[in-house]
Structure 1
Amino acid sequence: MRYETVGAAGPRVSAVILGCGNFGGIGSPAQFRGKGDNRDTAFAVMDAARDSGISMFDTADAYAGGDSERWVGEWLASRRAHGEIALTTKVGGPVEFGSGLSGEHIRRAIDASLARLGVERVELYLAHGPDDSVPIEETVGAFEELVQAGKIGAYGVSNVDAGQLKAAADAGSPVNVQNGYNLFDRLGQAEVLKACADKGAGFTAYSPLAGGLLTGKHRGGESYQAGSRMALRPPELTDLTMERAFEALPRLTDIADGHGVSLTTLALAWVLTDPNVTAAVVGPRSAEHLRPLVAAADLQLTAEQRAELVVAVSAN
């Protein structure tokens, strides 16, 4: 495993970050609570992640109605792992007392998150998405207060465009952007990646495998596996399930075979070897699924090899 510092002043993290959005549910929507990993599976995944050298877990207050944070906290306590694992959590999604990025909501939300996680401080606190109803100065001001209070080490933003990042950077000192980024969803992030470089912010990629599409386990014309993200959340993944994407999978698999690795490993390595990417957030559904993901941190792709993969997905 290799490690990088997030931005100019963020925490040092493993190249592969464990995403905990599957714990107890599938992300934030209430209708998917109970459809994700159960507690025992979540604990097994966290055990395997720590054993693999992963040093940061990523969660959010809205995931599974707070159960994701709660289970991470229970695992940390049971494994006495507080000094080994850094934490990212997020604010702004729907929780029992509301949502959004007002200063009042942020101050209340961090205390609730810290209580569920069983810690006094999280290393990185992210705005889960933009809130146009609140001035960015108010949001960033609240984050700065939390840094001064010692409740967070640093803060950042998620699901933003380049203009929104620049506005946050003009108002304060965000150290990180967390956006979706993968071989099938790359062009939209070019300006954001450039803005991160210009502002000295890190970039952590979520959905680096396009919701499981880049594992190669889904094929065009086939039904999605029961319980998978593709089956449970088709609306948000519709743009990734086009015929073009499915037609690219055999070409990508051939390239992966040439490297002697799985498509999962190759696709994640493409993300991790982007010089503007700090780390990638992965959400394996089992401890076994973690192995090819961790292997990606050790696969170094040259610029020419990365370009070959882009050609493979653009050839249709």
Structure 2
Amino acid sequence: MKQRRLRDLEVSAIGLGCMGMSAFYGSADEEEGVKTIQRALELGIDFLDTAQMYGPLTNESLVGRAIKGRRDAYVIATKFNYRMDNAVPGDMSTVGPQDGSAEHVRNSVHGSLKRLGTDYIDLYYQHRVDPKVPIEETVGALAELVAEGKVRHIGLSEAAAETIRRAHAVHPITAVQTEYSLWTRDPEAEVLPTCRELGIGFVPYSPLGRGFLAGRFASPEDLDEGDFRRTGPRFTGENLKANLGLAEKVKEIAQEKGVTPAQLAIAWVLAQGEDLVPIPGTKRRTYLEQNAAAADVELTKDDLARIDAELPKVAGERYDEAGMRTVNR
């Protein structure tokens, strides 16, 4: 597996999003999740992405199990945001409000360290920007964790360009994580250029359009009960009909290249710059192995121009109205 740099943090060119092993995407097999994380390292994928929110709490524990005895071989990224004071593992209804205060930053890290079974976190993100707390306070507390050795690098997720600038002025930001794919290209307007201006790495999540671009489902009925995509704006009604055409075009181009639709989608993200490290999520070794092979797919200038010219625009927002209020802040 090729390597890339997120500022001064070296990671595999493709990471592994672990969220679906525990949350949001319906049923999950914890043992298969552990084996998928361990198989990732065999394939050269050392960059794992988790969060307190995933489960809640259970995904960090799963990752901790999987990396036991090999901790230093992995680069672990996790995230804090919502208060977990009364959170019951696996019960989203027990999660508290978001809190970007310095006190919460300091308290949150200890829980993550314990669940992950480690004494340091390679990359610690604020999962969503808290509009009630100045970003300078949040990042100042994160900087203290770096000084203490509990955190090695700081990141932001779904932050607006101006917020990134303010945060970076307090302490160097290593990476910004935002949804980015063939059907979510809004970071190209401001966020990605700002990261490049400041020398910050960029971590696209959901590079497969939450599995839709990979052709893994074509209707909400194809998904498990409890899968949040069943009611997502892009996966229902007229938006779904329009977006099936987009997925079909990805499939068509992929077939002509002799690759899977998922590999084409990941290769497209990789082709957008050496400072991007996509983290396709999966809970199965089979899909992990297919995704890893995308690092060797070469897209020519003609391929990229054709994709730009022929792919229809996506229909619908990424999240519902409440979810959209939490991004690009």
- Structure-1-length-normalised TM-score: 0.89
67 and 186 in structure 1: CA distance in 2 versus 1, 3 angstrom threshold: same
Structure 1 residue 100 displacement after superposition: 1.5
Where does 1:160-309 land on structure 2 (aligned, <5 Å)? 160-219=159-218, 222-227=219-224, 231-238=227-234, 241-275=239-273, 277-309=275-307
Change (3 A) 1:215 1:76: same
1:71 equivalent in structure 2: 62
Task: Give the CA deviation at 1:134.
Answer: 0.7
Offset of residue 198 of structure 1: 0.4
Q: Secondary structure at the match of 2:310?
A: helix
Question: What is the CA-CA distance between 1:248 and the residue it aligns to?
Answer: 2.4
Contact 2:126 2:157 in 1 (8 A): yes
Match of 2:110 in 1: 111
What is the deviation of 1:299? 1.1
> 1:250 and 1:65, CA in 2 relative to 1: closer, same or farther beyond 3 A?
closer
Counterpart amino acid of 2:57? G
- Work out the CA distance in 1 between the residues paired with 2:120 and 2:193: 30
Letter in 2 for 1:182: S
Size of the alignment, in residue pairs?
A: 302
Shift of 1:301: 1.6
Superposed CA offset, 1:287-306 (max 9, x none): 11112210111112233322
Is contact 1:92-1:101 (8 Å) kept? yes
Percent of aligned pairs sharing the same letter: 30
User: Within the alignment, does 1:96 sit opposite 2:93 as a pair?
Assistant: no
Unaligned stretches of 5+ residues in structure 1: 27-31
SS in 1 for 2:11: strand
The residue matched to 1:124 in structure 2 has which SS? Answer: strand
Answer whether contact 2:128 2:158 (CA < 8 A) is retained. yes
The 8 Å contact of residues 248 and 312 in structure 1, kept in 2 or not, is answered as: no
Whether 1:59 and 2:55 are equivalent positions in the alignment is no
Contact 2:270–2:277 (8 Å) recurs in 1: yes
Instruction: Note closer, same or farther for the CA distance 1:257–1:154 as it changes in structure 2 (3 Å cut).
Output: same
The residue number in structure 2 matching 1:13 is 11
Q: Which amino acid aligns with 1:96?
A: D
Q: Is the 8 A contact 1:62 1:94 kept in 2?
A: no
2:304 and 2:70 map into 1 onto residues whose CA distance is 36
Please report how far the alpha carbon of residue 20 of structure 1 lies from its aligned counterpart in structure 2 after TM superposition. 1.2
Cross-structure match for 1:29: none
Q: How far is the alpha carbon of 1:151 from its aligned partner?
A: 0.4
Answer whether contact 2:178 2:187 (CA < 8 A) is retained.
Answer: no
CA–CA distance in 2 between the matches of 1:138 and 1:193?
Answer: 24
1:125, 1:156 within 8 Å by CA — same for their partners in 2?
yes
Check whether the contact 2:220–2:235 (CA below 8 A) recurs between aligned residues: no
C-alpha contact 2:221 2:230 (8 A) present in aligned 1? no
Classify the secondary structure of the residue corresponding to 1:107: helix
Matches of 2:3 and 2:39, distance apart in 1: 18
The amino acid that maps onto 2:264 is L
Counterpart of 2:155?
Answer: 156
Offset of residue 50 of structure 1: 1.3
Computed over aligned residues only, the root mean square deviation of the Cα atoms, in angstroms, reads: 2.1
8 Å contact kept, 1:159–1:178: yes
Distance 1:4 1:237 in 2: 33
Q: What residue identity is the alignment partner of 2:17?
A: G
For the Cα contact (< 8 Å) 2:217–2:223, is it kept in 1? Answer: no
Q: Which runs of 5+ in 2 are unaligned?
A: 87-95, 315-329
User: What is the Cα deviation at residue 235 of structure 1?
Assistant: 4.1
Letter in 1 for 2:114: A
In the alignment, is residue 84 of structure 1 matched against residue 80 of structure 2?
no
Q: Secondary structure at the match of 1:87?
A: strand
User: Comparing 118-127 with 187-196, which one deviates more in the overlay?
Assistant: 187-196
What letter corresponds to residue 40 of structure 1 in structure 2?
E
State the shift of 1:108 in Å: 0.5
Q: By how many angstroms is 1:61 displaced?
A: 1.2
Offset from partner CA, 1:204-249 (integer Å, 9 cap, x none):
0001011111012333xx44423288x5334445379443321123
Question: Offset of 1:169 from its aligned partner?
Answer: 1.6
Moved more, 261-270 or 17-26: 17-26
